[in-house]
Amino acid sequence: MAQVPNLIPALPEIFLAVAAMALLMLGVFRGDGSTRLVSWLSVAALVVAGGLVLAVGGPREVTLSGLFVMDRFGVFMKLLVLLGSALTLILSMTYVEREQMSRVEYPVLIVLSTTGMLMMVSANDLISLYVGLETQSLAAYVIAAFRRDSARSSEAGLKYFVLGALSSGMLLYGSSLVYGFAGSTGFDRLAAVLAAGSVSTGLLVGLVFVAAGVAFKLSAVPFHMWTPDVYEGSPTSVTAFFAVAPKVAAVALFVRLLIEPFGSLVEQWRQIVWFMSVGSMLLGSFAAIGQSNIKRLMAYSSIGHVGYALVGLAAGSELGVRGVMFYLAIYIFMNIGAFAVILCMRQNGRAVEGIQDLSGLSKSHPMLALAMAIFMFSMAGIPPNAGFFAKLFVFQAAIEAQLYVLAVIGVLSSVVGAYYYLRIVKVMYFDDAVEPLDRAIPAESRVLVAATALFTLLFFFVPAPLLEGAANAASSLFAG
Amino acid sequence: MIVQGLAFYMFAAILVASAVMVISARNPVHSVLFLILSFFNAAGLFILIGAEFVAMILVIVYVGAVAVLFLFVVMMLDIDFRALRSGLLRYLPIGGTVGLILLVELAVVLGAWAVAPEATTGVAAPLPPPEITNTRAIGQLIYTQYVYLFQASGLILFIAMIGAIVLTLREREGVRRQNITRQVSRRREEVVAVRKVPTRGGV
């Protein structure tokens, strides 16, 4: 008889999946009027899952026949993912009610998507990587098209679905090549095989395809084309979700994939990551300049941020991975805050999303404008905001890995990026309002905007916990 | 051996014949029915080579689901198949040429087929012992070693189901729904009224 595998490391995922089903049952029986209740219960489920992650985390543990791994890197990344999902869910409650898309499936799909992200972070095999990725993406396609009566939302969902299917195809093709040439899909075995012998061209082609598939999910250049359209077309609360949690999960997956099984091929994959990083940083800063829609702008901004995070990965060192994780943590806070402000943008009860609609915000909503200014300064990387330290650590890692060109391009493109971030500040403070935004701001948004703004501004007083957490987690990836 | 050979030729002949009928039958419903026949014969061929799991899947999935779906599509969509097939003679030369070129290319490629030396160094999957049927071998793997992936695939199908319902189900006004509880709990007094109608008096 086969033994029952040790399920303890997978407890957060199991809990979330079961919670999603239970919440769906609750929602189906109580009707769409219970969306707010289900949303809060979903947030509670995400928090409990976070507690479980902390409880089961620890030294590296492989279970479920080597398909699933839990280590300190996983703990850090899973906490970030859960935090991002829970906060965006809290933010979206009032928005979905105001936009008449308040249906019970919305929070349930977000919980299911988050389950997929946790599975991605813990993947220890190419098959479990794919299954986790697909769980996450499939739920994401649906919520992108959630406002099904809107042509733009449906278009966003369809576009996301078609391009996502294409990228999954590439990923699978690459995985099959890797399996064919290395003889295994397990990360541990792949690492052993690749460290031992010479590397065949077929395997490298497979690696390139796998990297391209993951880069689609990351929206790194040159696989970024879907991002602006999907971000613009999706309901804004969904855009906030897309910009935070799936990004973190995809970067975590990419880091684990490149460092653990393909760690001995660092010279080969560094060129790919280098190119994606430079491309994303440049495109993120130049293409955003001409945007007039703030959701499109945030899409290009997120492409740029992925580029900066990949700088750390290109370094391929423990310091670099620490930089990536640290960057993602800061990125979550800045983005949640910025989207909280964007979700408050309404004129006469209608959601607006033009950058010019922010004009005169400093007069009508001084605190909101101040918070948005903090987020923009932080995203631009201006000290002493948290975003500056995030960039500092990835560039430091790049310098130590002697990637001088990469670091210089990164700094230059962040200067270009500062232009459009500061333009928003200028619009808010110096342009006269055509029509002021509505005054009614939900309490959740107030709290979240204040909390994230304080975090971003005051981070440099107590950087130690986050830095140590990232360093600790990064070291667990390089230990074995 | 002779019985096996006879069975093979029977299945193969019916398979090829019904496959030809699929594309040449005038009535699209007949095409789908011939498709089902060819699936059954292909399943028979799989059983002959000892792959009973694939045979079962072929019958359950393809006959049970896909072919029935085809049948629904053919019956529900109003497609004029005769118009679609009208240009056959006109397109035959160019189509035939392309097909022929493809065939020659395939022959050239497959003729020079060789397994890469690196590929053979990888570990081959272990074969199950001969006394275990392959259905059982697959089951033993899926429910033990790959139980995580099996369950996760189930989760994906669950999400797909929610997604399909979320994106397509609409509450329409004025649709009569069947409420079985109400139907069953109807009482005679509520719905039947006995009136005395006087003769020649009208109602």
pLDDT score, position B124: 61
Q: Give how far A340 is from chain B: nearest CA, Å.
A: 26
User: Which chain B residues are Cβ-neighbours of A10 within 8 angstroms?
Assistant: 148
Report pLDDT for A347.
84
Do residue B148 and residue A202 have CB atoms under 8 angstroms apart? no
ipTM of predicted complex: 0.91
Distance (Å) of CA A287 to CA A167, A222, A281, B119: 23, 13, 10, 44
Containing B152, the helix (H) or strand (E) segment is helix B147-168
Searching chain A, which residue's CA lies closest to the CA of residue B125? A183
Point out the residue among A131, A139, A184 whose CB comes nearest to the CB of B149: A131
| pLDDT at residue B54 tops 80 | yes
3-class SS of residue B138 = helix
Question: pLDDT digit of tens for each residue in chain A (480 aa)?
Answer: 467 888 889 999 999 999 999 999 999 999 888 899 999 999 999 999 999 999 998 888 888 888 999 999 999 999 999 999 999 999 999 888 888 888 899 999 999 999 999 999 999 999 999 999 999 999 999 999 998 888 999 999 999 999 999 999 999 999 999 988 888 889 988 888 888 877 888 889 999 999 999 999 999 988 999 999 999 999 999 999 999 999 999 999 999 999 988 888 888 899 999 999 999 999 999 999 888 899 999 999 999 999 999 999 998 888 899 999 999 999 999 999 999 999 988 888 888 888 888 888 888 888 889 999 999 999 998 888 888 989 999 999 999 988 899 999 999 999 999 998 999 999 989 988 777 788 878 888 889 999 999 998 888 888 888 888 888 888 888 875
Yes or no, beta carbons of A138 and B159 under 8 Å apart: yes
Work out the minimum CA distance from B169 to partner chain A, whole angstroms. 11
On the question of pLDDT at B81 being above 80, the answer is: no
Are A5 and B147 in contact (CB < 8 Å)?
Answer: yes
Q: Name the 3-class secondary structure at B86.
A: coil
What is the distance between the alpha carbons of residues A335 and A245, in angstroms, rounded to a whole number? 10
Neighboring chain B residues of A131 at a CB cutoff of 8 Å: 149, 152-153, 156
Residue count of chain B, please give it: 203
Neighboring chain A residues of B162 at a CB cutoff of 8 Å: 24, 105, 108-109, 112, 142
pLDDT averaged over every residue in chain B: 86
Contact check, Cβ <8 Å, A109/B163: yes
Q: Which residue of A has its CA nearest to B147?
A: A64
Interface test with B, best of A148, A153, A204 (most B CBs within 10 A): A148
A360 conformational bin, left if phi > 0, alpha if psi -120 to 50, beta if neither:
left
Determine the pLDDT at residue B125.
63
| Per-residue confidence (pLDDT) for residue A19, from 0 to 100 | 96
pTM for the model stands at 0.88
The answer to whether residue B122 scores a pLDDT higher than 60 is no
| A17 vs B contacts (CB less than 8 Å) | 155
- Please give the interface size between A and B, counted as residue pairs whose CB atoms are below 8 Å apart: 84
A67/B148 CB distance under 8 A? yes
Closest CB to B119: pick one of A103, A105, A180.
A180
pLDDT recorded at residue A165? 93
Whether cis (ω within 30° of 0) applies to the bond prior to A12 is no
Query: Is A356 within 8 Å of A434 (Cβ atoms)?
Result: yes
CB within 8 Å: B159 and A2: no
pLDDT band for B49, please (50, 70, 90 cuts).
Answer: confident
Whether the per-residue pLDDT at B123 is higher than 60: the answer is no
CA-nearest residue to B124 within chain A is: A183
Contact flag B159-A127 (C-beta cutoff 8 Å): no
Return the domain boundaries, chain A. 265-480
Using a CB-CB cut-off of 8 Å, the residues of chain A touching B140 are 2
Yes or no, beta carbons of B160 and A200 under 8 Å apart: no
DSSP B197: -
Residue in A24, A116, A142 nearest the CB of B167: A142
Residues with Cβ within 8 Å of residue A21, at least 6 apart in sequence: B158
Chain A residues touching B122 at Cβ < 8 A: 180-184
- Both structure tokens of B90: 């006109």
A168 CA: distance to closest CA in chain B (Å): 14
Pick from A377, A266, A394: nearest CA to A329 = A394
Residues in A closer than 8 angstroms to B117, CB to CB, are: none
| Per-residue pLDDT, A477 | 85
- Record: contact B166-A103, CB cut-off 8 A: yes
- CATH code reported for the domain at B1-79: 1.20.120.1200
Is A139 close to B163, i.e. CB distance below 8 A?
Answer: yes
> B106 CB near a chain A CB, below 8 Å?
no
Rounded Cα gap, residues A142 and B126, in angstroms: 40
Q: Please tell me which residue of chain A has the smallest CA distance to B160.
A: A138
Q: Within the 161-200 window of chain B, which residues sit less than 8 Å (CB to CB) from chain A?
A: 162-163, 165-167
The whole-angstrom distance between A351's CA and the closest CA on chain B is: 22
B149–A contact, CB cutoff 8 A: yes
- B152 interaction partners in chain A (CB closer than 8 Å): 119, 128, 131-132, 135
CA–CA separation, B161 and B102 (whole Å)? 40
Q: What confidence score (pLDDT) does residue B118 get? A: 60
Amino acid at A359: S
The residues spanned by each domain of chain B are 1-79, 127-169
Q: Which residue from A324, A471, A292, A294 is spatially nearest to A390, judged by alpha carbons?
A: A324
Higher pLDDT, B83 or A327: A327
Contact B121/A at CB under 8 A: yes
Q: Do B162 and A180 touch (CB under 8 A)?
A: no
A-interface mutation test, from B148, B150, B168, most A Cβ less than 10 A away:
B148
pLDDT, residue A459, reads 86
